[in-house]
Amino acid sequence: MALAVAMALCVANVAAKPPAIDRTEADAIRLLEQATWGPTEALIAHVKSVGAERFVDEQLATPSTRYTQFDAVPTTRPATCVDDRTLPLTPTSFCARDNYTLFQLQREFFKNAVSAPDQLRQRVAFALSQIFVTSGTDINQVYAMQRYQQMLADLAFGNFKSVLTQVTLSPAMGNYLDSVNNDRAAGTRVPNENYAREILQLFSIGLAELNADGTPILDANGMPVPTYDQDDIKEFAKIFTGWTYALATNPLADATQKNPRFYAAPMVPYPTTSTRGHETGPKTLLNGTTVSANQTIREDLAGAVQNVFMHPNTGPFVSKQLIQRLATGTTAPGIHRFQNGQSTETFSESGSASGLGDIVLRTKWRFLTDPKAGLALALDALESPRFDEDAFKRIKTQALGALKQRAEQPSLVARVVSNAALCTVPSR
């Protein structure tokens, strides 16, 4: 209905020249919609004053906002930990809510989204949490998920290889994808393959081989070329054996046995025997890379992370996901290209000081400051003194497309529909 009214208003004002667009303000708003949790009058004025590049530099230099470091609690809620609304209320009145639900963490998350100064970091951390997914249903202790979310915030401007490594050793991820207390093969038992599958499919290279511009590589029959197969999963599963929870009383020490759940420190190795612990035999990873037998468990892990990090798919696959969550939902070929090069080259260059951090520092989030990567990618600026039928058709198509995306980008609907009434669209 709103769309019909907007179009009717557009037709009724065919002779009216649209008002001039403040492109500086429009660009500031576009940047803030992508790099923060939303524009405010103060932020718009600041971006207009200092410019997009300096604003992004300021955000990169802003220290990480810290979540409250909640105390570790037992996995099973004690019978005495209940919610008691009897007056007067005390800090312990809501023991169950505050320790065994995510209420406190969720409250802080929204508070940070509204008022924290490190807005870009908050957005990137949220984007990472949409890629490296864990479950607040499976793990309902607030201290556990606080540690995981803080880790992602701290890594937001870091090295992508470090992201992969620390996520792999996160006890929250170990619990969610079953890589914790995961034994080597013995008899008919085989290592759990959940994390091995997800690190390939969702966290690094994806299902199909990609060109540098993100388009799929096709075989002679025009079909996508798989990046890995079940044999690869089995080999990676061997890598992710032999890790357990840290010990609460000595979290930096290797374990002497499989430990009970503890989420306040990274996982640690537990002893290896012929039937349990880490698989010490050779492993064949992607592109025929071999991990030698009898390496330490940490050497095996580092080799596996390096293997997926250096794969040519990791650059375009991860970059596309980040851009979809930060800048634009478009999947047009080449949208993940960065200034003076492609993300693949930025990821793999030197293999050490590269990855996500390299992209941030080298390009200064070029896709955030480049209008071609903005939400207005498909919207042409229009300043015509008369009604343009072709332009109206484009507006209609854009508005309908925006309505389909309303759950992902609700502000785009309002912008397109309101501008349709003036026969204009947002500036690029």
3-state helix/strand/coil string of 46-72: HHHHHCHHHHHHHHHHCCCCCCCCCCC
Alpha carbon 346 to chain centroid, angstroms: 18
Helices and strands (H, E) in the chain, number of each type: 19, 4
| 132 and 152 Cβ atoms separated by less than 8 Å | yes
The residues facing 268 across adjacent strands are 244
**Are 279 and 184 spatial neighbours (Cβ–Cβ below 8 Å)?**
yes
Q: Is residue 170 part of a domain?
A: yes
Other Cβ atoms closer than 10 A to 90: 9
Residue 392 lies in a domain: no
Spatial contact of 172 and 141, defined as CB atoms under 8 Å apart: no
Q: Which amino acid is at 32?
A: L
What pLDDT, on a 0 to 100 scale, did the predictor assign at position 30?
A: 85
Alpha-carbon distance of 29 to 48, in angstroms, equals 9
**Burial class, 158, CB count within 10 angstroms (exposed 0-12 / middle 13-18 / buried 19+):** middle
Radius of gyration of the chain (CA): 25
Regions of the chain short of the pLDDT cut 70: 1-23, 328-428
What is the separation of C-alpha 24 from the centre of its chain, rounded to a whole number of angstroms? 29
Which among 204, 193, 279 has a CA at the least distance from the CA of 233? Answer: 193
Residue 279 lies in a domain: yes
The pLDDT assigned to 119 comes to 94
The answer to whether residue 142 is domain-embedded is yes
Q: How far apart are the first and last CA of the chain?
A: 27
Q: Is residue 137 part of a domain?
A: yes
Please report whether residue 194 resides in a domain: yes
Residue 2 has a pLDDT of 46
Is 422 among the domain residues?
no
In a domain, 301, yes or no: yes
What's phi and psi for 210, nearest 5 deg? -120, 150
Containing domain of residue 126, as a range?
64-368
State pTM to two decimals: 0.78
- Token pair, residue 342, equals 């492609």
What's the domain count of the chain?
Answer: 1
Cβ-Cβ contacts under 8 Å for 66 (sequence gap 6 or more): 150
